[in-house]
Amino acid sequence: MKKATIKDVSELSGFSITTISRVLNGNYPVKSETRNKIMQAIEELDFSRNSTARNLRTKKSNLVGLVVADINNPYYSRIAKKIDDGLFEKGYNLLVCNTDESEKKEKRILSTLQDKDVDAIVISPAAKNIEILRKLNNSGTKVVLIDRNMGILDIPFVGSDNFSESKILTEYLIQNGHKKIMFVSGTDTAVTAQDRLFGYKAALQENNIPFEESSIVKGYYKQENAYENTLEFLKENLSRSDPYTAIFSSNNLMTIGIIQAIHKMNLKIPEDISLVSFGQLDSQEIIDPKVTCIKQNIDQLATDTLEKAIESLNDNNGNIDSNIIRDSLEIGNSVKKIE
Partner DNA sequence: TTTTATATAGAAAACGTTTTCTGTTACAAC
Partner DNA sequence: GTTGTAACAGAAAACGTTTTCTATATAAAA
Binding site for DNA (CB under 7 A): 5-7, 14-22, 24-25, 27-34, 47, 49-50, 53-54, 56-59
Q: How far is the CB of 45 from DNA (least distance, A)?
A: 10
The reply on whether position 77 binds a second copy by CB under 8 A is yes
Q: How far is the CB of 108 from a second copy (least distance, A)?
A: 8
Q: How far is the CB of 129 from DNA (least distance, A)?
A: 22
The reply on whether position 333 binds a second copy by CB under 8 A is no
- Please count the CA atoms within 13 angstroms of the CA of 123 that sit on its side-chain side: 34
The reply on whether position 4 binds a second copy by CB under 8 A is no
Instruction: Give the integer Cα–Cα distance in Å for 186 and 206.
Output: 23
Instruction: Give the integer Cα–Cα distance in Å for 226 and 193.
Output: 14
The reply on whether position 286 binds a second copy by CB under 8 A is yes
Instruction: Show contacts with a second copy in window 102-141 (CB under 8 A).
Output: 109, 111-112, 114-117, 135, 138-139
Instruction: Give the integer Cα–Cα distance in Å for 226 and 239.
Output: 21
For residue 64, the SS3 value is: strand
The reply on whether position 81 binds a second copy by CB under 8 A is yes
Whichever of 21 and 77 has its CB closer to DNA, that residue is 21
Whichever of 48 and 205 has its CB closer to a second copy, that residue is 48
For residue 65, the SS3 value is: strand
Whichever of 19 and 166 has its CB closer to DNA, that residue is 19
Render 301-324 in DSSP notation, one character per residue: HHHHHHHHHHHHHH-SS----EEE
Choose the one of a second copy, DNA, none that binds residue 84, judging by a C-beta under 5 to 8 angstroms depending on kind.
a second copy
Whichever of 7 and 322 has its CB closer to a second copy, that residue is 7
Strand-by-strand arrangement of the 328-330 sheet: 216-218, 181-185, 246-249, 274-278, 292-295, 328-330
Instruction: Give the integer Cα–Cα distance in Å for 204 and 10.
Output: 74
First to last CA, the chain: 78
How many residues form the binding site for a second copy (CB under 8 A)? 51
Residue among 292, 290, 221, 284 nearest 257 (CA):
221
Q: Which stretch binds a second copy (CB under 8 A): 31-39, 69-77, 188-196, 313-321?
A: 69-77
63 conformational bin, left if phi > 0, alpha if psi -120 to 50, beta if neither: beta
Characterize the bridge pairing of strands 292-295 and 216-218: unpaired
Whichever of 38 and 261 has its CB closer to a second copy, that residue is 261
Choose the one of DNA, a second copy, none that binds residue 31, judging by a C-beta under 5 to 8 angstroms depending on kind.
DNA
Instruction: Give the integer Cα–Cα distance in Å for 126 and 108.
Output: 12
Q: How far is the CB of 16 from DNA (least distance, A)?
A: 3
The reply on whether position 256 binds a second copy by CB under 8 A is yes
The residue ranges that bind a second copy (CB under 8 A) are 1-3, 48-53, 55-56, 61, 63, 70-72, 74, 77-78, 80-81, 84-85, 88, 93-98, 109, 111-112, 114-117, 135, 138-139, 256, 259-260, 263, 281-283, 285-288
